[in-house]
Chain A
Amino acid sequence: MSAGGLPPDRLVALLRTMLLIRAFEELADELFAQGRVHGTMHLSVGQEAVAAGVCAALQPGDYILSTHRGHGHCLAKGADVRRMMAEFLGKATGYCRGRGGSMHIADVAGGNLGANGIVAGGLPIATGVGLSIRLRRSGQVCVAFFGDGAANEGAFHEALNLASIWELPVLFVCENNQYAMSMPVGRAMRVARVSDRAAAYGMPGVTADGMDVVAVYTVATELVARARQGGGPALLECVTYRYRGHSKSDRQRYRAREEVEAWRARDPIDRLRARLLAAGVLSAAAANQLAAEARAAVAAALAFAEASPEPDPATLLEGVYA
Chain B
Amino acid sequence: MSTATGGTEVGVRELSYAEAIREALRQAMHADERVILLGEDIGVYGGAFGVTDGLLEEFGPERVRDTPISEAAITGCAIGAAVTGLRPVVEIQFMDFITLAMEQLVLQAAKMRYMFGGTVTVPMVLRTPAGAGTGAAAQHSGSLEAWFAHVPGLKVVAPATPADAKALLLAAIADPNPVIVVEHKLLYRTRGPVPEAPAPAPLGVAAVRREGRDVTVVATSVMVPRALTAAERLAAEGVDVEVVDLRTLRPLDAETPAASARKTGRVVVVYEAVKTLGIGAEVAARLVEGETFYHLKAPVVRLGGAECPIPYNRTLERAAVPQEEDIVAAVRQVLAEG
Contacts and interface: CB of A to CB of B under 8 A. Distances in A.
A2 to B, nearest CB: 35
Interface string B41-79: 000000000000000000000110101101011111111
Interface string B73-90: 111111111111110100
B113 interface: yes
B76 A99 contact: no
Interface stretch (A36-44, A106-114, A246-254): A106-114
B117 A319 contact: yes
Contacts of A128: 76-84, 88
A123 B76 contact: yes
A234 B121 CA distance: 28
Interface string B85-113: 11010000000000000011001100011
A95 interface: yes
Interface in B244-299: none
Contacts of A97: 117-118
Interface string A106-136: 1011000110111001011111111111011
A155 interface: yes
B116 A131 contact: no
Contact of A159 (B73, B155, B177): B73
Contact of B72 (A98, A124, A166): A124
Interface in A134-184: 135-136, 142, 154-155, 158-159, 161-162, 165-166
A154 to B, nearest CB: 6
A114 B152 contact: no
Interface residues of A, number: 45
A162 B80 CA distance: 13
Nearest to B109: A125
Contact of A114 (B73, B116, B121): B116
A320 interface: yes
B176 A322 contact: yes
B243 interface: no
B113 A320 contact: yes
Interface in A79-121: 94-100, 104, 106, 108-109, 113-114, 116-118, 121
B120 A108 contact: yes
Given A127-B77, A159-B73, A159-B76, A121 B108 contact: yes
B147 interface: no
A322 B119 CA distance: 10
Contacts of A318: 118
A45 to B, nearest CB: 24
B153 interface: yes
B84 A95 contact: no
Nearest to A168: B77
Contacts of A161: 68, 70, 73
Given A108-B116, A322-B177, A126 B67 contact: no
Nearest to A112: B116
Contacts of A127: 73, 76-77, 80
B221 to A, nearest CB: 23
Contact of B81 (A98, A109, A131): A131
A40 to B, nearest CB: 16
Among A129, A133, A159, residue most surrounded by chain B Cβ atoms (within 10 Å): A129
Interface in B155-176: 155, 176
B117 A94 contact: yes
A270 to B, nearest CB: 35
A241 interface: no
Nearest to B88: A128
Nearest to B251: A321
Contact of A125 (B76, B118, B152, B155): B76
Contacts of B79: 124-125, 128
Nearest to A65: B80
Interface in B104-152: 104, 107-108, 112-121, 123, 152
B36 interface: yes
A217 interface: no
A170 B120 CA distance: 20
Contact of B108 (A118, A158, A159, A320): A118
Interface of B: 36, 62-63, 65, 67-68, 70, 72-86, 88, 103-104, 107-108, 112-121, 123, 152-153, 155, 176-177
19 contacts: A63-B84, A95-B116, A96-B117, A96-B119, A97-B117, A125-B77, A125-B104, A128-B78, A128-B83, A129-B81, A129-B83, A130-B80, A132-B84, A158-B73, A158-B76, A162-B74, A165-B68, A321-B113, A322-B123
Question: Ordered nearest first, which 6 A-B pairs have the shortest CB separation?
Answer: A124-B76, A128-B80, A319-B118, A158-B73, A96-B117, A128-B77
